[in-house]
Amino acid sequence: MTSSHTLPLPDGRRLTAETGSGGLRLSIDGRPLLSAACEPVEGGFVLAPDLVGERPAPLPVDAAWAAACWLFTGDPACRRLVWRGIEPDPASLRSGLLLADGGGGGISRRDAFWQLPGPWLRDPGTTGYPAIAREDGVHLHRPPKPAGELYRRFDPALGLWISLRSLDIDADLERFNRWQNNPRVLAFWQEGGDFLQHRAYLEGLAEDPHVLTLIGCFDDEPFAYFEAYWAKEDRIAPFCAPGDHDRGIHMLVGEEHHRGPHKVRSWLSALVHWMFLDDARTGRVVSEPRADNARMIGHMQSLGFLREWEFDFPHKRAALMTLDRRDFFDRCPGLSEPSTTAAAHENSYV
């Protein structure tokens, strides 16, 4: 019995998989990409594209990417794809999407796939920006801040798009003011005030090169406010010995109907994923929630953050939370989820 399932992609295309009798056929917007035998093995799948004659089957980069996207998104236990009888596209080898095995095949690894920026990263990112020391010889000049949508990914576990965009002061001031004056948010952020105070707060951050203000959206509905900062220029620096490109986050969920651990898992993994994609030199993401904010700390620990120690800011007792780049991509929490999809070959994303 053959079944057909579809996964929406951020650029508007649709990745379709047909499965059945040990085979996998993939297409994007009706354009065939791959037809292959697909058999489960410990830790992943063995894929053998259909042969034409005696020669190894050409494996175009878009076919290798589509297979990795489909199988790694849908099965958290899938860590590798073992390709047999292929002639890989050199672009797949240069990008790390495919690793040559020396025996006429190749391996696609989950931790490598999720570090590739497209199509989730919606702007070029900052990796190419040179490391230029400032006059003090310690800190770096930071790249210009991006505008518009920065990240988008369909979350099959929720059936929703999760996206991040830059904050627009004129468009977002009212919701920022409402969120900051919410008693639940106010208890931790302590940034209540009127429109003039909040405009001044946001304008100050807009002029600060080390902080980027973001709005999180589910299905394009704004629900959260985030601050992503370069840790070396932040007040947290003396407490975490940051690398030149380590980043930190401040987070609040403003809309009550988007609270809950399942939503946190989605948006926190997206936020961290974006920071690691935005600059491949970022080795850690750090955060300093209030030490008594047990709920947020628990959410962070469930995604792999470590609670290192506590320290004192003038306004709060903080817990240092850290997430290592390698640990994040080794686990891919929130990116590879058990859902009605590929590995089980029974149900569809949408």
Q: How far apart are CA 76 and CA 118, in angstroms?
A: 20
Residues in the chain: 350
Spell out the residues 6+ positions from residue 17 whose beta carbon is closer than 8 angstroms to its own.
Answer: 4, 5, 6, 7, 24, 25, 26, 70, 342
Alpha carbon separation from 75 to 98, 127, 219, 283 (Å, rounded) = 19, 29, 23, 26
Which residues are paired to 48 by β-bridges? 37
3-state secondary structure of 335: coil
Supply 151's token pair.
């990240």
Pairing of strands 149-155, 306-313: unpaired
* Residues designated as active site: 288
What lies within 8 Å, CB to CB, of 124 at 6+ separation is none
User: By C-alpha distance, which of 279, 277, 263, 276 is closest to 334?
Assistant: 263
Sheet containing strand 80-83, edge to edge, reads 3-8, 14-20, 23-28, 31-41, 44-49, 80-83, 106-109, 99-100
